[in-house]
A and B are shown apart, each in its own frame.
Chain A
Amino acid sequence: MNSSGRYKAIAVIDTIEDKILHQSLELTAFINQIYQGSTSGLLLVVTGRNIIEECRILADKSGFDIAAVEHNGFYYPNPDLLVKTLNVLHEKYRPEIFCLTNTIRNCSAVSAFSAECGLQCITGIELVSETDNGLMLQRNIFNGKLKEKIIVSAQQLAVTVNPGAFQLKQDDAHIKSETFIEKVEIDEEVSGYKPVSISESSDMESSLEDADVIIAAGRGIGKPENLQMVRDVVRIFNNAAIGASRPVCDNRWLPYRHQVGVTGKTVSPKLYMAIGISGSQQHIAGMKNSQCIVAVNMDAHAAIFSVADYIVIEDVNVFIPVFLKIYHERKR
């Protein structure tokens, strides 16, 4: 990679309703690793309707230069306008790398932008390493069953980085005495894409947040009738609730308020027991901070085992009935 411009790397900090989502500052840790401990060529981009004040606070706190992009259309996440913004910054700075947090909106923006400008596009990066052949970026494929390892050869990259993959360390802060805030203008062009409103999806009330124990069912339970055995497991614990992976809710076996993961609930109970869940990155994001994780899966290579404290390689339809039977026998 090479660039002659003032900034080598551009990181987009996510906002919603003019509030900065601080998790996206992890991108600075990603850049830090790519440039082996240096973030001096990094520009942060912050979008919003009235975002300048937030940018000042962020610049003071983080010590990074910031491009503030104000537009009414940026009150809500707006990949359409974001593509235009990335185009402007690309023209101006020709950085080596554009990085965004791996969200579904940001994937949309980087793919459209890279297709337009001919950049190499890589989404969902979870690991960076230096190899003899150059920089290697790693991502999950097949729900974590395999990894794709990409050697960067392109001059310019547009990427998304998994939340949580690169941890912000205190000494990553790169304090400059004077930071630079520039305002970037985006054309008031008419676009066929109009955000109208945002809302919490209805039906999100559930007891998952307050439960000490969550017993979560995945597609591996096979059929909705088998939820009964999962409910029977819930009953043997104090203050327990039933959780689910997305397909269980998609199939209408349980309402969406039971769904755990990036598009569902984030939970951290004392015990999370995953029954027939493969452990996709989207699911793990919602439960990895549980104090104790037990996973039951008949596939010895299931990705869920990488976060589990206790691993049970079993067919759930065999194991769970045995588990319940022994519990009740011992109870008597």
Chain B
Amino acid sequence: MKILVCIKQVPDIESNPEIRCDSLWIKEDNIAFRMNRYDEYALEEALLIKETIPGTTLDVITAGPERASSVLIKGLEKGADNAVMIICERYPLSSYETALLISNYASDNNYDIIFAGVMSEDAMQCTTGPMIASLLSIPCVVSSVKTSVDYEEKIITVESELEGGIIETVTLSIPCLITVQTGINQPRYPSLSGKMRAKGLKPSVIDGEYLKSGFNKSDYKLGYPDSNVNGVTITGTSEEKAVKLLEILHERGLLL
């Protein structure tokens, strides 16, 4: 079995990001980057399959600027066999551009399953996975909360989550693409031996600049949300705020 996991590196944003002067992306100074959380679950799902089906190889791939290779190293530390870095300094890529770069690589490599996260935490589009599947003409299911592989029959059964707590069970023939929802498993931390092993491995590098710039990229700008705060901000010290809030809740007759 050959598995590919698509991983995105995203900014780890606790407070408010500042927008760069061209309005196309955020200022990166003082920002830490990490693996997209949905992709952590996708990677774990692939690692679990690798552990149950002997002879499985697991590759991780990302497209982005050079700094993004840190998520591939993390993937190797957790147990991936190979890593592929498609370097594109032009950033951010549209999901279509990412899908083109990844599908171009994958089409030559006969993967049985391609995993991706259901969404990236920064762009929030839920589009890259299905676009890759479409470009490769393979079936795709989104938002998996359970994946069972029958490798003999080449069938995968996926419990896919819909809105409103509804689960749809779907079968897919291999090869296929699955996007993974959070909560499906408990992503592991890299083990010490995993970290040691990864030291000897290097991602292979592909130059992604062959994609013409601006391809299917729309005309956009980032902006700050309008401060459409209609509520009352409770002010004062912690104690004063607590007193005010308790009074409001008391007036509404909600407190015991």
Q: Which residue of A lies closest to B123 (CB)?
A: A141
Q: Which of under 10, 10 to 19, 20 to 34, or 35 or more describes the interface residues of B?
A: 35 or more
B16: A residues at CB distance < 8 A: 145, 299, 301
Question: Per a CB cutoff under 8 Å, which of B145, B223, B225, B245 touches A144?
Answer: B225
Partner of A107, one of B126, B229, B243: B126
Using an 8 Å CB-CB cutoff, how does the interface string of A271-300 with B read, 1 for contact, 0 for none? 100000000000000000000111100010
Which of B142, B173, B224, B234 is the one whose CB lies under 8 Å from A192?
B173
**One of B60-68, B78-86, B247-255 at the interface:** B247-255
B232 touches A310 (CB 8 A): yes
B127 lies within 8 A of A121 (CB):
yes
B231 touches A305 (CB 8 A): yes
Nearest A-chain residue to B234, judged by Cβ: A312
Cα A309 to Cα B216 in complex, Å, equals 41
Number of A-B contacts defined by CB within 8 Å: 255
Report whether over half of chain B's contact residues are helix, strand or loop; otherwise say mixed.
mixed
In the complex, the answer to whether A238 meets B254 with C-beta atoms within 8 Å is yes
Shortest Cβ distance from B137 into A: residue = A116
Q: Which residue of B lies closest to A202 (CB)?
A: B167
Taking a contact as CB atoms under 8 Å apart, the answer to whether A154 and B218 are in contact is yes
> How many whole Å from A230's CB to the nearest CB in chain B?
15
- How many Å lie between the Cα of A212 and that of B124 in the bound state? 33
- Assembled-state Cα–Cα distance A184/B182 (Å): 37
A46 → chain B, closest Cβ, in Å? 18
Q: With A314-B238, A326-B239 in contact, do A120 and B216 touch (Cβ < 8 Å)?
A: yes
Q: How far is the CB of A318 from chain B (nearest CB, A)?
A: 6
| Residues from chain B with Cβ under 8 Å of A48 in the complex | none
Our pick among A104, A108, A196, A252 for the contact of B186 (Cβ within 8 Å) is A252
Query: Does B188 touch A at the CB level, under 8 Å?
Result: no
Within 210-247 of B, Cβ neighbours of A (below 8 Å) are at 216, 218-225, 228-229, 231-234, 238-239, 241-243, 245-246
Least Cβ distance of B12 to chain A in Å?
Answer: 11
- The answer to whether B167 touches A236, judged by C-beta atoms less than 8 angstroms apart, is no
In Å, the complex CA distance between A330 and B138 comes to 64
Interface size for A (C-beta < 8 A) is: 97
Q: Which of A181-238 contact B (CB under 8 A)?
A: 191-201, 204, 212-213, 235-238
Pairwise interchain contact B165-A250, C-beta atoms closer than 8 A:
no
- Bound-state Cα–Cα, A197 to B122, Å: 33
Q: Are B135 and A195 touching (Cβ within 8 A)? A: no
Are B165 and A204 in contact, CB atoms less than 8 angstroms apart? yes
Given A199-B166, A327-B255, A192-B138 contact (CB < 8 Å): yes
> Is the CB of A306 closer than 8 A to any CB of chain B?
yes
B4 at the interface (CB under 8 A from A): no
Of all chain B residues, which has the CB nearest A194?
B171
Neighbouring B residues of A150 by C-beta, 8 Å: 218-220
The 10 closest A-B CB pairs, nearest first, are A250-B183, A192-B139, A192-B173, A112-B134, A111-B127, A107-B126, A193-B139, A115-B131, A323-B242, A111-B130
